């Protein structure tokens, strides 16, 4: 049975990290002392749920968490620092501090080290999240112990709902673009000026004309979606924003 450690201090561990060409030791004291920190732990970098949902949503909501008094969001996994750094870069997760618990010391100290040898993973972390204030665990969300890789309670939205159920979550925004397109550049500037964070889907890199046509019915860029609503090109976006519909 995985133990809920609310009210206890986090384990004292020194993490071996790689920053540029240098090895840098980071202690739990540096990470947690005097701070309000969200931690989410997961089985492994580059694994499906971790890459598609768990990390991206925390990265997306980072500014909302900051407005609620959170100083840092830390992702911990039993992976080495090179893997964690490569994953962060691949995910473009600039709002997340990735911490490699390569030897599993922190995870073991949390009582969350589990055996995934049947998958060839060896010892890994169970999936969980927690809110830590000045090194003391205030709240933990531990995934239920059942087969597979459950992902029900350690997500970013559950954590935000605990911190402030009334918090305003900005709409998700996506924009289809292509390199060198001046109208795309204009649309991105408009979104930024109105406080929208957006995901850019670049033709030739992230999508094709066929994909653009299938999703939007159009063959020109930019094409913008806000909160699931199809807005259209740069002129339509400008008209939408001028109606006062701002983030």
Task: State the residue range of the domain holding 108.
Answer: 14-163
Residues 86 and 105 in one domain: yes
Using CB atoms within 10 Å of the CB of residue 246, give its burial: 0 to 12 exposed, 13 to 18 middle, 19+ buried.
exposed
Contact of 242 with 231, CB cutoff 8 Å: no
Q: Of 110, 145, 163, which marks where a domain is finished? A: 163
Residue 209 has pLDDT above 90, yes or no: yes
Residue 243 has pLDDT above 90, yes or no: no
Residues 125 and 26 in one domain: yes
Residues 147 and 206 in one domain: no
Q: Residue 168 domain-assigned?
A: no
Q: Residue 7 domain-assigned?
A: no
- CA-CA distance, 75 to 98, in Å (whole number)? 5
Active-site residues, by number, are: 50
Contact of 94 with 72, CB cutoff 8 Å: no
Q: Of 163, 193, 208, which marks where a domain is finished? A: 163
Please give the residue that has the higher pLDDT: either 243 or 31.
31
Residue 167 has pLDDT above 90, yes or no: yes
Residues 50 and 141 in one domain: yes
Residues 131 and 155 in one domain: yes
Residues 61 and 124 in one domain: yes
Residues 141 and 199 in one domain: no
Residues 31 and 130 in one domain: yes
- Cis status of the peptide bond prior to 100, with omega within 30 of 0: no
| Mean pLDDT calculated for residue range 135-160 | 96
182-193 vs 234-242: helix axis angle to the nearest 10? 20
Q: Residue 74 domain-assigned?
A: yes
Q: Residue 1 domain-assigned?
A: no
Residues 87 and 177 in one domain: no
Contact of 26 with 14, CB cutoff 8 Å: yes
CATH of the domain at 125: 3.40.30.10
Residues 20 and 119 in one domain: yes
Query: How many domains is the chain built from?
Result: 2
**DSSP symbols for the chain:** -PPP-TTSBPP--EEEEEETTEEEEEEHHHHHTT-EEEEEEES-TT-HHIIIIIHHHHHHTHHHHHHTT--EEEEEESS-HHHHHHHHHHHT-TT-EEEE-TT-HHHHHTT-EEE-GGGT--EEEPPEEEEEETTEEEEEEE----SS---SSSSHHHHHHHH-TTPPPPPPEEEEE-TT-HHHHHHHHHHHHTT---EEEEBTTTB-HHHHHHHHS-SSS-EEEETTEEEESHHHHHHHHHTT---
| Mean pLDDT calculated for residue range 195-220 | 92
Residues 58 and 116 in one domain: yes
pTM of the model: 0.85
Residue 227's nearest CA partner among 173, 177, 191, 176 is: 173
Q: What is the pLDDT of residue 195?
A: 86
Residues 119 and 60 in one domain: yes
Residue 246 has pLDDT above 50, yes or no: no
Lowest mean pLDDT among 61-75, 95-109, 158-172, 232-246: 232-246
């Amino acid at each position: 049975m995985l133990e809920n450690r609310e009210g206890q201090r986090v384990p004292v561990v020194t993490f071996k990290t790689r920053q540029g060409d240098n090895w840098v030791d980071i202690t739990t004291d540096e990470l947690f002392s005097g701070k309000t920190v969200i931690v989410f732990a997961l089985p492994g970098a580059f694994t499906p749920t971790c890459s598609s949902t768990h990390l991206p949503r925390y990265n997306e909501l980072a500014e909302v968490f900051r407005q609620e008094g959170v100083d840092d969001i830390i992702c911990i996994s039993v992976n080495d620092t090179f893997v964690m750094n490569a994953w962060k870069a691949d995910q473009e997760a600039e709002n997340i501090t990735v911490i490699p618990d390569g030897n599993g010391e922190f995870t073991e100290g949390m009582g969350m080290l589990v055996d995934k040898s049947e998958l060839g993973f060896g010892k890994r972390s169970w999936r969980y999240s927690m809110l830590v204030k000045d090194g003391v665990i205030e709240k933990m969300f531990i995934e239920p112990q059942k087969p597979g890789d459950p992902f029900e309670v350690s997500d970013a939205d559950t954590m935000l709902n605990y911190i402030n159920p009334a918090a305003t979550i900005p709409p998700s925004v996506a924009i289809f673009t292509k390199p060198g397109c001046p109208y795309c550049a204009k649309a991105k500037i408009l979104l930024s000026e109105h406080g929208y964070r957006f995901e850019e889907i670049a033709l030739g890199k992230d999508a094709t004309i066929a994909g653009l046509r299938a999703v939007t019915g159009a063959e020109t860029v930019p094409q913008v979606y806000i909160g699931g609503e199809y807005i259209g090109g740069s002129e339509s976006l400008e008209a939408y924003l001028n109606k006062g519909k701002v983030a």
